Amino acid sequence: MGYVFVWLGLVVAFVIAEALTTQFISIWFAVGSLVGLFFGFISAPSWLQFLAFAVTSAILLALTKPLVRKLTAGRSTPTNADRAIGETALVVMEIAGGLAGQVKINGLTWSAVSPYDVVIPVGDRVIVRAIEGVKLIVEPISEKEILEV
């Protein structure tokens, strides 16, 4: 019965660790600790307690980890910023070859840079290609794209 408090402490620690994260990281070890705690209560030898913990944790991990990955995959929710990619924006402060300017899109003003060494004057329209940090990566609209808009 010497390891009962160790198992109890591990159960509590793993449950707290699981509660503090948004992913299934330690739940399998919490259940394994519960099995170890059970074996501790029935006064099983310490090697059997540790073996029960290890086997239970490993089996649960092997059986449920792929299922959890499948259920949680692809749950990204686009933010308002993500929705700007592919949209047209109006240049409100000149973007000059590598130096940030500003564009207005959906009523919001953003810092913007162009990956090309071009000057994009105020009043021109650009297409948002990506977002890096708080800057939009924009490209000038070609004649073909102007006709499509």
Convert the pLDDT of each residue in 83-118 to its tens digit. Answer: 778 889 999 999 987 788 999 988 889 899 988 888
> In the predicted model, what is the mean pLDDT of residues 118-140?
89
Domain boundaries, the chain: 4-72, 82-148
CA pair distance 128, 134, nearest whole angstrom? 13
**Hey, what are 73's tokens?**
């995959």
Helices 27-41 and 46-72, packing angle to 10 deg: 160
pLDDT at 74: 62
pLDDT at 143: 52
Write down the residue that tokens 């929710």 correspond to.
77
> Would you mind telling me the total number of residues written for the chain in this entry?
149
Q: Residue 92 in 3-state DSSP?
A: strand
Top pLDDT among 91 and 141 is at 91
Convert the pLDDT of each residue in 31-82 to its tens digit. Answer: 999 999 999 999 899 999 999 999 999 999 888 877 777 776 665 555 666 7
> In the predicted model, what is the mean pLDDT of residues 124-130?
91
CATH no., domain 82-148: 2.40.50.140
